[in-house]
Amino acid sequence: MDKFITQFKDIFANPKYLHEFLGGIWETTYSTVVATTVAFLLGLILAVLLVVGDKDGVRPLPSPVMRVLNVVINILRSVPFLILMLFVLPLSKLILGTRIGTVAAIPPLIVAAAPFIARLVETSLRETDRGVIEAAQAMGCSPFQIVWKVMLPECRPALISSFTTAFITILGYGAMAGAIGGGGLGKTAINYGYNKYNMAVMLVATVLIVILVQIAQSIGTHLAQRSDKRLR
């Protein structure tokens, strides 16, 4: 216990730790925002294809195409993140020129999160009132207009909630990425905490991650409630 207290005091007395934590917060937030934004856009496109291209959708696609799309999404969702990251890191090397650090972790985060987001958004889109879609079809709206002007606006609160869930999930993935060369608070917890038997650093890094999660969840919940017409 005395050792833990000494380690904890050293965190506040040593500027190195302050710099590391501040840098970790920035790297974690930056990588999570970028990865979530790109992954959400990809997941949204995949979800629209899954819903619109279904046999009962507004623009059915060939069944072999739908089967392949579903299988690929299910496979990517099933692979544990750390294993998937090891497979995708060569892509980071190809695109970004490195497989170590915060930026290198972004492509694996996107690949891991996009299929998960696709399923979340797919569920939200399928909850759109069928009567509203049929009314839009009767008015002569194209499939694109139905998606853009009917389905997406109708499920906006659910989409915001899905984005929030994705953000928090990617934040957790990013922390795990620190174990195999990623940056951010996960790297701080591993390099300065676990590897050096410094439980105080691990605790502070964990608390900071929890705080970021709480902030993201609060903002997401607030925006979802404001966009919900049923609560007005």
- 43-78: pLDDT as tens digits: 999 999 999 988 888 888 898 999 999 999 999 888
* Domains in the chain: boundaries: 2-231
pLDDT of residue 176: 81
Give the whole-angstrom CA distance, residue 226 versus residue 211. Answer: 23
pLDDT of residue 105: 86
Q: What single-letter DSSP state applies at residue 57?
A: S
What tokens were used for 46?
A: 């995949």
Nearest Cα to Cα of residue 205 among 27, 2, 5? 27
CA dihedral sign of residues 184, 186, 192, 193 = positive
pLDDT of residue 33: 92
**pTM of the predicted structure, to 2 decimals:** 0.88
- Residue ranges for the chain with pLDDT beneath 50: none
Q: At CB < 8 A and 24+ separation, what contacts does 126-132 make?
A: 126/51, 127/155, 127/158, 128/154, 128/155, 129/154
CATH number, domain 2-231: 1.10.3720.10
Which residues lie below 8 Å from residue 94, measured CB to CB, with a gap of 6+? none
